[in-house]
Copies of this chain bind each other. A is one copy, B any other.
Amino acid sequence: MTRHPELPERDRRILSALVQAYIEHGEPVSSLWLASRGFGVSSATLRNILARLEEQGYVHQPHTSAGRVPTDLGYRLYVDQLLSDRRVARPAPLVEERLRKAGTIDEILSHASHEISRASHQIGFAIGASVESTIFEHLEFVPLDAGKVLVVLVSTRGITHKVVDPAEVYSGTELHEAANYLTTEFKGCSLAAVRAQIVERLQAEQTLYDALMARAFRLASSTFEALDPQPAIYIQGTSLLFELGSGEDPATALATMKTLVRMMEEKMRLVQLLDDISGAGLTVVIGSELVDPELQHFSLVTSRYARGGRIGAVGVIGPTRMRYLRAINIVDSLSRAIDRVFETT
């Protein structure tokens, strides 16, 4: 995992120190400041090194008489170093316990995103599986007043319900039998497959040799036709938005908030973004490495999980100048916790 082999060890240490300092204080780092941090060299030497690092594209000067700020490439080297040096994240048994107590997948993911946000002081998110990879488990029809029917659908994604108002009237026992029939028929199939099957069989209705089944399918169709094809996404930490902006000038902070609030609303864009990030396991994507031009100033730390038939991702989104070490550890330990919880469910 060690890229950038051309860079001497000392330069690399200095660059890391610079990145850390910038992350901590948010101001351009000067040669004098670095010299005071005990590298055994003077500020003049550091100036030479910094000039070289700038030539190589790792750092950048906002203006001639200013210190240096890491570029995305600089962050990249810093993060790569973190990832290669890193020990396995210490487990967080307390958090895992709390996740385990949450019943449905929805609740688990909601908790997870909340936990990530709380610990990282950034916006945390968790994303579940799409209909393609969600497995149908159970269906139940509950009669309500006035001929309406409550449909309860249980799948690996969790439980969803919906009230439908069918044209025909169904008796209580009929509903019960229909649900039983559909459950045994489709148990173990993906939701997408179930939906396809239902459409298919309805179109060739004559093949349905039993009136009960025909009615069952008509009832089921309204449940499955409107299934959201996108995976659920949980986002937490909107209130931290304005903390990230503190210390910087108001106009920048405002722009940052705008972008992120818009992102939060356009959840689908975030889903798309995460789909694009192909890497398995823990991944860090920094600023310009993201395709979306609006997100040039943000970084994404994500980790996929895939256990017990459930797949998805958890992660953090924040400014490129974020505490990567902390974020990486939190995301990693959370995704491991989710793995374990799903494994034993």
Q: Chain A: residues with CB nearer than 8 A to chain B? A: 103-104, 137-138, 140, 142, 144-145, 150, 152, 154, 159, 161-165, 238-239, 241-242, 245, 249-251, 253-254, 257-258, 261-262, 264-265
Highest count of chain B CB atoms <10 Å: which of A161, A249, A251, A265? A161
A237: nearest chain-B partner, CB-CB: B265
Q: Are B238 and A265 in contact (CB under 8 A)?
A: yes
Q: How far is the CA of A257 from the CA of B257 in the complex (A)?
A: 9
Q: Is the CB of B264 within 8 A of A238?
A: yes
Residue of B150, B165, B249 near A152 (CB, 8 A) is B150
Inter-chain contact A154/B159, CB cutoff 8 Å: no
Q: How far is the CA of A261 from the CA of B21 in the complex (A)?
A: 30
Chain B residues lying within 8 Å of A253, measured Cβ to Cβ, are 250, 254
Q: A254–B242 contact, CB under 8 A?
A: yes
Most chain B Cβ neighbours within 10 Å, of A137, A150, A249: A150
Please give, as numbers and ranges, the residues of chain B lying within 8 Å of A262 by CB-CB distance. 239
CA A152 to CA B160, docked complex, whole Å = 11
State how many angstroms separate the Cβ of A147 from the closest Cβ of chain B: 13
Which of B138, B241, B249, B251 is the one whose CB lies under 8 Å from A261? B241
User: Least Cβ distance of A160 to chain B in Å?
Assistant: 9
B contact residues around A103 at 8 Å (CB)? 162-165
Give min CB distance, A7 to chain B, whole Å: 39
Q: How far is the CB of A157 from chain B (nearest CB, A)?
A: 13
Can you give 21 A-B contacts (C-beta < 8 A)?
A103-B163, A103-B164, A103-B165, A104-B163, A137-B145, A138-B142, A138-B144, A140-B142, A140-B150, A140-B152, A142-B154, A144-B154, A152-B152, A159-B163, A161-B161, A238-B261, A239-B265, A242-B261, A250-B254, A253-B254, A254-B257
One of B142, B239, B245 near A254 (C-beta < 8 A): B245
Nearest 10 A/B pairs, CB to CB: A103-B163, A250-B250, A250-B251, A239-B265, A242-B258, A140-B142, A250-B254, A254-B254, A159-B161, A239-B261
A144 to B265 Cα, complex, angstroms: 34
